[in-house]
Amino acid sequence: MAPRTGMYGPCSWCVRVAKWLPVVFIVGIVVWSYYAYVIQLNILTIESNIQKTLYLLVYHVILVLFVWSYWQTIFTDIGFVPKQFRLPPTELESYECAATEETRRDVLEHFMGKHGLPVVNRTMTGDIRYCEKCCHIKPDRCHHCSVCGECVLKMDHHCPWVNNCVSFTNYKFFVLFLGYAFLYCVFVAATTLQYIIEFWRVGDAQGWQVPHPVRVLRGGHVFYQFGVLVGLPHIPHIEEQVHH
């Protein structure tokens, strides 16, 4: 969701509004596709009541699952790094006043050993991973998100399409969102394909003008292609997380 910390100033609200534009874009496409599929295809185009009922039933089940997972991905809080990882005032002062990197390293090592922090991941040089902005030792697989303005547990990436970090708290919802989005796109594309083909096969041969319902349904296939393009880049991330 929106960051709890971050930039302040007269333009901060502009940045916050801009971050929601991809989400508004997705919502707009879904609303438009709902109109195209439910009104233009099922109510105004399909004549069979059985086919119409079946399509609408399956469509709305997929849509509810898609919207639910998308909502959860957006509005699930990214959580907090546990307090025991944060340096208290005395250790923080010792760390910031240290004259050398070795002294800083010793402060962190002593603090971690004293509190028995379960940290395995280190930097490339073998040092403890420490966030200078949040003033705490980073737990394993924790990273600082510059967009959210804080460290995020098990951070995968910050996704602009959900205006939130994909992390420990909402990773399951994000995977479900991608799955239901793909299923939604496939179902809409598959059930409208026959009408698109029929138009190009019969309509062009008779010199028809493109009717409004067909123009709308053709746009549904654009939504399908967009959904695939959004989802495919995340597959390597998912595979990496599964194997780790």
Q: What is the pLDDT of residue 208?
A: 44
pLDDT tens, residue by residue, 120-166: 999 998 999 999 999 999 999 999 999 988 999 999 999 999 999 99
> How many angstroms separate the CA atoms of 195 and 22, rounded?
30
Q: What is the pLDDT of residue 202?
A: 65
Active-site pick, 134, 151, 159, 165:
159
pLDDT tens, residue by residue, 161-205: 999 999 999 999 999 999 999 899 889 888 888 877 776 776 554
- 71 and 179 in a common domain: yes
- 93 and 63 in a common domain: no
Q: What does the pLDDT average to over 23-28? A: 92
Whole-model pTM: value is 0.80
Q: What is the pLDDT of residue 45?
A: 83
Query: What is the average pLDDT value for the chain, to the nearest integer?
Result: 82
C-beta contacts of 181-184 below 8 A and 24+ residues apart: 181/66, 181/70, 181/227, 181/230, 181/231, 182/227, 182/228, 182/231, 183/62, 183/66, 184/62, 184/63, 184/66, 184/227
Residue 163 in any domain: the answer is no
Task: Look up 159 and say whether it is catalytic.
Answer: yes
Residue 148 in any domain: the answer is no
The answer, yes or no, to whether residue 8 has pLDDT greater than 70, is: no
Residue 2 in any domain: the answer is no
Q: What is the pLDDT of residue 242?
A: 45
Q: What does the pLDDT average to over 24-44? A: 89
- CB of 189 within 8 A of CB of 33? no
- 175 and 58 in a common domain: yes
Bigger pLDDT: 145 or 15?
A: 145
- CB of 28 within 8 A of CB of 21? no
The answer, yes or no, to whether residue 224 has pLDDT greater than 90, is: no
Maximum separation of any 2 CA atoms in the chain, in Å: 84
Residue 146 in any domain: the answer is no
The CA distances from residue 146 to 134, 140, 178, in Å, are 11, 18, 24
Residue 93 in any domain: the answer is yes
pLDDT tens, residue by residue, 209-218: 444 555 555 5
Q: What does the pLDDT average to over 217-239? A: 53
pLDDT tens, residue by residue, 36-90: 889 988 998 888 999 999 999 999 999 999 999 999 999 999 988 999 999 999 9
- 134 and 93 in a common domain: yes
Q: What is the percentage of the chain residues whose pLDDT exceeds 90?
A: 52
Identity of residue 20: W
DSSP-derived secondary structure for 91-127: HHHHHHT-SSHHHHHHHHHHHHHHHT-----B-TTSP
- 214 and 199 in a common domain: yes
The dihedrals phi and psi of 241, each to the nearest 5 degrees, come to -65, -40
Which residues span the domain enclosing 113? 83-141
Last residue of a domain, one of 100, 122, 141: 141
- 194 and 173 in a common domain: yes
The structural domain count of the chain equals: 2
The answer, yes or no, to whether residue 225 has pLDDT greater than 70, is: no
